[in-house]
Each structure stands twice: as structure tokens, then as C-alpha cells.
């Protein structure tokens, strides 16, 4: 089986009703990114940040995977698939993808404020625990923090993701503006011989001279077209 790596971003979940970040009316228009997605913002106003992620978490209960997520999961019938996602939602998993690497963390998990990446303190929340409060503590006694990689923080999963991209026969980029590093640099690790596809309704600068098969569609229609193309 060929190795196929998907790199997904917020556009992957847009048709499920989750806002993207940088499109007009996106999340960063509604909430200042420096307040809710940086360690400095969290230090200044932890309550606001905790509330912001409580809302995101509760939204998960109201949305469903779209045809795009389901199509990506179905690729496992034909390929050895690794999904590398910048998304913190769990829609790839709920659609049936079995190997998902979350570069920017996971909404359903919480961790220690002192040691965010210490696995001893990372915990999956049950839906009835989705509302975290100021004063709820992690195993090391620090405030329970959303397990999210904020701007300015290290991206521990990037090395794992690079290893998979290096082995890719096919790389499929879906619904990301490729503005945020190191995720945006992943395609440079794809072997010269790998085929690269990019699914996005808007033009995206991939910062490469390499040939890319562009599929100028939303995630659902785009993944459908991709699956047709990969049959030939």
C-alpha cells in the first residue's frame, strides 16, 4: 500500500460549522488571538482563556464530521493513511480515521499549566467534564489548562509528522492557509517523487516551485474529486 499523508487545517472542518481562523468572520476576528491563544494571554487572564476553550469544547458536541472527513477516513481502504491536522477538534477521529497526529493539541484534553507536555498530567475529558473552572487542578497541583499549543510555544508533534511526510508517496493538503509554521513547512519534507494535492476553495501560497495538483473546491467536494483522481 502507498503511504498517503493528509495535512489538514481549519477549512477541513468549515463545512461542519466550525469557523476558520483567518477568513472574514473567522475566530481571530471575534477573539483577539493574543488574548486567547498565547501563553501571555493565559497568564494575564486565565479565566477568559478557559472560558474560550470551554465554548469551543461544547461546540464539539453540536457538530458532526462532514463528507470531507468521511472521505479522508475512507482513503484507508486504499492507502496507508496518516492524518496530520492543525485542528484541535476530534472530527477526523469521529469520521473513522485511525491514525491522527494533532500538531496544535486537542480540545478534548487538558494538561498541567506548569508542564503542558508532561504525559502524566494530560487527560482526556469526558463530555460531562467539558466545562473547566478556574481552580480545577492538574495532577501536579497547577491550574488545569487546555491541551492546546499556543503561539510562541513548541510543537512537540512536528518531528513525528516530519517522519511520516518524508515517507509519503502522496501528500494531500486540505483547508489550510499555510500561514502558521512549523506546520506550513511540512510539505518541504515530501520526497521529490511524491505527488502533492491541495484542496482549498481559495488560492493558497504553498511557498514552493514544485508542481501541485490544485483542487479548487471545499473539503467535501474536493476530497470526492481527489478519490476519483487517485483511482486512475
**Residues assigned a catalytic role:** 104
Strand-pair category, 105-112 with 170-174: unpaired
* Options 6, 9, 100, 125; binder of ligand OAD; rule CB under 6 A: 9
* Options 65, 71, 116, 175; binder of ligand OAD; rule CB under 6 A: 175
139-158: contacts with ligand OAD (CB under 6 A) = 149-151
Strand-pair category, 213-215 with 195-199: parallel
Nearer to ligand OAD, 139 or 162 (CB): 162
Stretch that binds ligand OAD, among 14-22, 43-51, 108-116, 159-167 (CB under 6 A): 14-22
DSSP H or E stretch at residue 224: helix 219-231
What's the min distance (Å) between Cβ of 4 and ligand OAD?
18
Q: What is the DSSP letter of 38?
A: S
Mask: binding to ligand OAD, 26-65, rule CB under 6 A, as x and -? x----------x----------------------------
Strand-pair category, 100-102 with 80-85: parallel
What's the min distance (Å) between Cβ of 193 and ligand OAD?
26
97 binds ligand OAD (CB under 6 A): no
Q: Give the SS3 label for residue 178.
A: coil
Spatial strand order in the sheet of 105-112: 123-124, 105-112, 144-148
**Alpha helices (H) along 45-128:** 46-60, 67-74, 91-95
95 binds ligand OAD (CB under 6 A): no
Q: Give the SS3 label for residue 181.
A: coil
226 binds ligand OAD (CB under 6 A): no
Asked if 222 contacts 12 with a C-beta cutoff of 8 angstroms, the reply is no
Where along the sequence are the contacts to ligand OAD (CB under 6 A)?
9-11, 14-15, 20-23, 26, 37, 86, 104, 149-151, 175-177, 179-180, 200-202, 204, 218-219
Amino acid at each position: 500500500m502507498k503511504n498517503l499523508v493528509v495535512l489538514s487545517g481549519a477549512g477541513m472542518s468549515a463545512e461542519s460549522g466550525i469557523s476558520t481562523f483567518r477568513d472574514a468572520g473567522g475566530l481571530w476576528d471575534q477573539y483577539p488571538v493574543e488574548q486567547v491563544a498565547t501563553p501571555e494571554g493565559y497568564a494575564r487572564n486565565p479565566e477568559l482563556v478557559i472560558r474560550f476553550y470551554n465554548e469551543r469544547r461544547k461546540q464539539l458536541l453540536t457538530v458532526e464530521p462532514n463528507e470531507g472527513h468521511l472521505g479522508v477516513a475512507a482513503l484507508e481502504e486504499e492507502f496507508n493513511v496518516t492524518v496530520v491536522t492543525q485542528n484541535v477538534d476530534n472530527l477526523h477521529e469521529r469520521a473513522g480515521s485511525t491514525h491522527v497526529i494533532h500538531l496544535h493539541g486537542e480540545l478534548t484534553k487538558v494538561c498541567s499549566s506548569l508542564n503542558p507536555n508532561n504525559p502524566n498530567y494530560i487527560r482526556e475529558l469526558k463530555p460531562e467534564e467539558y466545562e473547566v473552572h478556574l481552580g480545577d487542578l492538574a495532577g501536579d497541583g497547577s491550574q488545569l489548562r487546555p491541551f492546546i499549543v499556543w503561539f510562541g510555544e513548541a510543537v512537540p508533534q512536528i518531528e513525528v509528522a516530519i517522519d511520516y511526510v518524508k515517507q509519503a508517496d502522496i501528500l494531500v493538503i486540505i483547508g489550510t492557509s499555510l500561514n502558521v509554521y512549523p506546520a506550513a513547512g511540512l510539505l518541504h519534507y515530501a520526497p521529490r517523487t511524491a505527488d502533492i494535492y491541495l484542496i482549498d476553495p481559495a488560492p493558497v501560497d504553498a511557498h514552493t516551485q514544485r508542481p501541485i495538483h490544485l483542487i479548487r473546491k471545499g473539503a467535501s467536494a474536493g476530497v470526492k474529486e481527489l478519490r476519483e483522481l487517485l483511482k486512475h
